[in-house]
Chains A and B, each alone.
Chain A
Amino acid sequence: MGAPRDERTNGKRTCNRDTRPAQAIRLPRGSERYSLTANQGDIVAIIGGSGSGKSTLLRCINLLERPTSGEVAIQGETYRLRSARHGDLEIADRRQVQRIRAHLGMVFQNFNLWPHRTVLENVIEVPIHVLGMKRDEAIHRAEGLLDRVGLGSKKDMYPSFMSGGQQQRTAIARVLAVDPLAILFDEPTSALDPELVGEVLAVIRDLAAEHRTMLLVTHEMAFARDVASHVVFLREGIIEEQGPPEQIFGDPRSPHLKQFISSVA
């Protein structure tokens, strides 16, 4: 498979992600503004102003958003996309997308739990009904995961009756239940009351400590600097700058990044 490359065309969405575990970061020369690779165990923080394309970039990884050009590969497997009438790309192989998605977890800003299912039922849903796990085993694992995120005693509650922090921790347990190759976080703490942010960040920090592959869109700069192995700064839909956190936060080159960092600090 060729080097991931991508040209940004006028007003079009372009995404290019390449999550290939066990492979050194390899950005083709000259295209690092459009390409991103995450290796196994990487924690990639995606930062940028509102509307800079952070969610779009993240959602191209599981194809919730369709890139208009370029390619996305997960563990060496490239999504099969084909050109649609308007020149956009569309999914060519639904089953492939479903198969890959089942191994990518996504945590949303608004939790997006299923309200008609209890906390436990939310966590066992995908293992049973997508991965085909036995119910007993799924429950056993889910209980362990809920204990881990501190919700063992809440497993029979319905999510709407819990705090935002508890709901987001449930959502994280739901993701862990599929034992994902990578977890995609889209501003997991932005919808939370300030006093609840800490409990969710603590869980994410815990996952970082065990070197889970994660891509994390966040406005929590201190947290990003702390846990990320790689930071990506987006502006107007393109990667303006990327690198290790010390470089991005300590020695930013782009004036926009400098300005962004001083504005959020």
Chain B
Amino acid sequence: MTTVFDFSLLAYSPPGWGKVLLVGFLRSIELAAGGYLLGILIGIAGASGKLYGNKVVRDLLEIYTMVIRAVPELVLMLLFYYVGTDLLSRASSAMGFGGVNIDGLTAGILVIGLVQGGYATEVFRGAILAIPRGQIEAAHAFGMPPGKVLRRVTLPAMTPHALPGMANLWMIATKDTALLAVIDFSELTLVTRQAAGATQYYIMFFLAAGVLYLALTLVSNFALRRFERHARRGLVPAR
């Protein structure tokens, strides 16, 4: 091998690896987006439970967030994946359905979502506490049912406070997808390694993957900034 780069190997169709990389990239985005959304749902439920739930709920959530934040993500993912799929197939064969095979994407989203949910719970809890009490109280004083208070007042009012933390979590989600290579999920990092191994153009392929991750970050940053401007529309600028 005399050169480091052979751009024809990045072509879309074989012998180029472009299509493989792009498909892996899309799967990474699917994973990140799915896990992130699941994390947001868990986070909202978790923050509500921590703030308004009874003692048992609060204690359980405390354990959940503590474990998520204390144990390395890679360990959590392996644990959730192997234990989770094992439990699931046992449960289903016990119920007479025979073994199930949950597909990699679903498993990956669940695993990332559970990890994200632990952090999101704390982000949302802090953000809800940052809302001036009176805004929520006013909604209650008008007889708004609790679910509507959450959707119409608490969530939009806390969004500006949650956004910096949630933007971080999105970045982490996109990068955590790479950890799923350990469970043989064909996301961007795994397919890059395959391409690099097959062609021996390690530097070029890993640079290409880096460029894709960077592009995702740049686009996300742009979108997040726009969303933040929207979320802060009613707030007087701090500066």
Tell me if A106 and B141 are in contact (CB < 8 A): yes
Chain B 41-76 near chain A by CB (<8 Å), digits 1 or 0: 000000000000000000000000000000000000
- Give B135-164 interface residues, CB cut-off 8 Å to A: 135, 137-145, 148, 152-153, 156-157, 159
Tell me if A99 and B143 are in contact (CB < 8 A): yes
Is A62's beta carbon under 8 Å from chain B? yes
Tell me if A101 and B153 are in contact (CB < 8 A): no
CB closest residue in chain A, given B148: A129
CB closest residue in chain B, given A99: B143
- Give A95-147 interface residues, CB cut-off 8 Å to B: 97-106, 108, 110-118, 125-126, 129-130
Q: Which of B138, B144, B236 contacts A161 (CB 8 A)?
A: B236
Chain A 21-59 near chain B by CB (<8 Å), digits 1 or 0: 000000000000000000000000000000000000000
Chain A 159-193 near chain B by CB (<8 Å), digits 1 or 0: 11100000000000000001000000000000000
CB closest residue in chain A, given B139: A114
Residues of B within 8 A of A104 (CB): 141
Main secondary structure, interface of A, reads loop
Chain B: residues with Cβ within 8 Å of the partner, total of 23
Is B95's beta carbon under 8 Å from chain A? no
Q: How far is the CB of B22 from chain A (nearest CB, A)?
A: 38
Q: How far is the CB of B158 from chain A (nearest CB, A)?
A: 10
Residues of A within 8 A of B231 (CB): 116
Q: Which of B132, B137, B142, B145 contacts A178 (CB 8 A)?
A: B142
> A158-B234, A160-B234, A160-B236 given as contacts; is B135 within 8 A of A114 (CB)?
yes
Q: Which of B141, B145, B157, B159 contacts A114 (CB 8 A)?
A: B157
Is A64's beta carbon under 8 Å from chain B? yes
Cα(A85)–Cα(B143), bound, Å: 26
Q: Which of A97, A108, A114 contacts B143 (CB 8 A)?
A: A97
Residues of B within 8 A of A110 (CB): 132, 134
Is B198's beta carbon under 8 Å from chain A? no
Is B233's beta carbon under 8 Å from chain A? yes
> A126-B144, A129-B152 given as contacts; is B234 within 8 A of A112 (CB)?
no
Tell me if A115 and B135 are in contact (CB < 8 A): yes
CB closest residue in chain A, given B231: A116
CB closest residue in chain A, given B144: A130
Residues of B within 8 A of A62 (CB): 141
Is B235's beta carbon under 8 Å from chain A? yes
- Give B206-239 interface residues, CB cut-off 8 Å to A: 231, 233-236
Residues of B within 8 A of A118 (CB): 234
Tell me if B236 and A101 are in contact (CB < 8 A): no
Residues of A within 8 A of B141 (CB): 62, 64, 101, 104, 106
Cα(A129)–Cα(B145), bound, Å: 9
Cα(A99)–Cα(B235), bound, Å: 31
Tell me if A101 and B143 are in contact (CB < 8 A): yes
Tell me if A101 and B134 are in contact (CB < 8 A): no
> A116-B156, A159-B234 given as contacts; is B142 within 8 A of A101 (CB)?
yes
CB closest residue in chain B, given A109: B134
Tell me if A101 and B140 are in contact (CB < 8 A): yes
Residues of A within 8 A of B148 (CB): 129-130
Cα(A158)–Cα(B148), bound, Å: 21
- Give A58-114 interface residues, CB cut-off 8 Å to B: 62, 64, 97-106, 108, 110-114
Cα(A158)–Cα(B232), bound, Å: 11
Tell me if A115 and B134 are in contact (CB < 8 A): no
Q: How far is the CB of B127 from chain A (nearest CB, A)?
A: 13
Residues of A within 8 A of B157 (CB): 114-116
CB closest residue in chain A, given B230: A116
Residues of A within 8 A of B235 (CB): 115, 160
Residue among A64, A130, A178 having the largest count of chain B Cβ atoms under 10 Å? A130
Residue among A106, A115, A118 having the largest count of chain B Cβ atoms under 10 Å? A115
Tell me if A98 and B134 are in contact (CB < 8 A): no
Q: Give 7 pairs: A residue, B residue, CB < 8 Å, sorted on A.
A: A101-B141, A105-B142, A106-B138, A108-B134, A112-B138, A130-B143, A158-B233
